[in-house]
Amino acid sequence: MMFWYGDGMNGWGWFAMSAGMVLFWGLLITAAVLLFRSLDRAGERPARQGPSGPEQILGERLARGEIDEEEYRRRLRALRSGEP
């Protein structure tokens, strides 16, 4: 006698063991993928809220010092009047 259930497992025993192994590895791989994705997202910068409009971009350029106030006002007037 090999084990307490006789000479070996019947068909249902093999099925249960196989299904359990597939379920175990599936859960383990799913947990690893979810953990990896959550760690990957933690390093990302937050996305901007909506598209940036031309006036907002112009204001950002003024704040960074790329353009002076006179050029800012000139370009802002051109944007608001619809001139190219």
Q: What is the pLDDT of residues 57-69, one digit of tens each?
A: 999 999 999 999 9
Work out the end-to-end distance of the chain between its first and last CA atoms, rounded to an integer number of angstroms: 93
The structure's pTM equals 0.42
> Is 30 among the domain residues?
no
pLDDT at 1: 45
pLDDT per position as a tens digit, 71-84:
999 999 998 887 65
Task: Report DSSP state, residue 10.
Answer: -
pLDDT in tens, 19-29: 999 999 999 99
Rounded distance, CA 83 to CA 80, Å? Answer: 8
Number of domains forming the structure of the chain: 1
Quick: pLDDT tens for 22-57.
Answer: 999 999 999 999 999 988 886 666 655 655 788 899
Domain-embedded: residue 57: yes
What the block records as the tokens of 30 is 């799913």
> Could you tell me what percentage of the chain is helix, strand and coil, using 3-state DSSP and rounding each to the nearest 5?
65, 0, 30
Q: Report DSSP state, residue 53.
A: P
User: 62 in a domain, yes or no?
Assistant: yes
Confirm whether 22 is domain-assigned.
Answer: no
